[in-house]
């Protein structure tokens, strides 16, 4: 089993100061850059605070904004919110990469409703998703969400049959510009978009 790459990285807890505060910022920026670049998953800001020279959320936010500006005109952009940060391919390069990556298709209504149900009721099983939707869900909807890395398997429910449990991922929060799951729109707003019209709260 492959271990998380970050578990093999070691960083000194103290960063040497040479010529004042600017040296801290320089070292911390490079440290953040290295950590986020090395990880295959979005990095939680709470983890970064433990690695930089000042245990300060405001100081970290200043560094994250500097990193965002550093990469804003590059082929990859540095994206962050209150909880996570990650490197992503610049949207302006979508057309140039069309031969390298399969073009993303718009989610079907079934996939959108499945994603919404998982987000609001996670962790949840396929049977529970079907009960809320009122119709049988095709396996394809879950497969698409898993391929997009918006949904992941989080274990099995402790009931007869041990069905799989699904939950949303860190990538889901970043791609939908959510700091945490509590920022989701309410169910009435989803119904206004034509989703889950038959669902009774």
Beta bridge partners of 84: 44
pLDDT of residue 164: 92
The residue among 160, 156, 170, 159 whose CA lies nearest residue 123 is 156
Residues 92-140 pLDDT 10s? 887 776 654 444 556 788 888 888 889 888 999 999 988 888 777 666 7
Whether 34 has a pLDDT exceeding 80, the answer reads: yes
What is the distance between the alpha carbons of residues 151 and 118, in angstroms, rounded to a whole number? Answer: 8
pLDDT of residue 171: 87
Q: Matching CATH topology for 5-93 and 109-192?
A: yes
Please report, rounded to a whole number, the percentage of residues in the chain having pLDDT higher than 70.
72
In CATH, what number does 5-93 get?
A: 1.10.10.10
For residues 53-71, average pLDDT: 93
pLDDT of residue 194: 54
Return the ∠ at Cα 88 (arms to 85 and 91), rounded to 5°.
130
Asked whether the beta carbons of 167 and 118 are under 8 A apart, the reply is yes
Question: pTM higher than 0.75 for the full model?
Answer: no
Q: Which residue has the higher pLDDT, 189 or 56?
A: 56
In CATH, what number does 109-192 get?
A: 1.10.10.10
pLDDT of residue 186: 67
Whether 6 has a pLDDT exceeding 60, the answer reads: no
Q: Which residue has the higher pLDDT, 11 or 21?
A: 21
pLDDT band per the 50, 70, 90 thresholds, residue 188: low
pLDDT of residue 25: 53
For residues 73-95, average pLDDT: 87
Whether 11 has a pLDDT exceeding 90, the answer reads: no
Domain boundaries, the chain: 5-93, 109-192
Whether 190 has a pLDDT exceeding 80, the answer reads: no
The HSE-up count of residue 180 (CA atoms within 13 Å, CB side) is 5
pLDDT of residue 77: 92
pLDDT of residue 45: 92
């Amino acid at each position: 089993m492959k271990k998380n790459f970050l578990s093999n990285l070691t960083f000194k807890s103290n960063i040497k100061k040479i010529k004042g505060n600017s040296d801290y910022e320089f070292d911390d920026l490079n440290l953040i850059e290295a950590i986020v670049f090395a990880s295959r998953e979005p990095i939680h800001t709470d983890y970064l605070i433990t690695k930089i020279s000042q245990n300060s959320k405001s100081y970290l936010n200043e560094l994250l904004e500097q990193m965002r500006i550093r990469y804003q005109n590059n082929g990859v952009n540095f994206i962050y919110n209150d909880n996570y940060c990650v490197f992503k391919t610049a949207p302006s390069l979508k057309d140039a990469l069309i031969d390298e990556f399969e073009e993303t298709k718009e989610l079907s209504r079934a996939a959108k409703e499945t994603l919404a149900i998982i987000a609001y009721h996670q962790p949840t099983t396929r049977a529970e998703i079907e009960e809320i939707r009122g119709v049988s869900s095709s396996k394809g909807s879950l497969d698409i969400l898993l391929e997009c890395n918006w949904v992941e398997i989080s274990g099995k429910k402790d009931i007869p049959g041990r069905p799989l449990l699904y939950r949303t991922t860190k990538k889901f929060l970043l791609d939908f510009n959510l700091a945490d799951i509590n920022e989701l729109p309410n169910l009435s707003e989803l119904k206004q978009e034509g989703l889950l019209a038959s669902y009774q709260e």
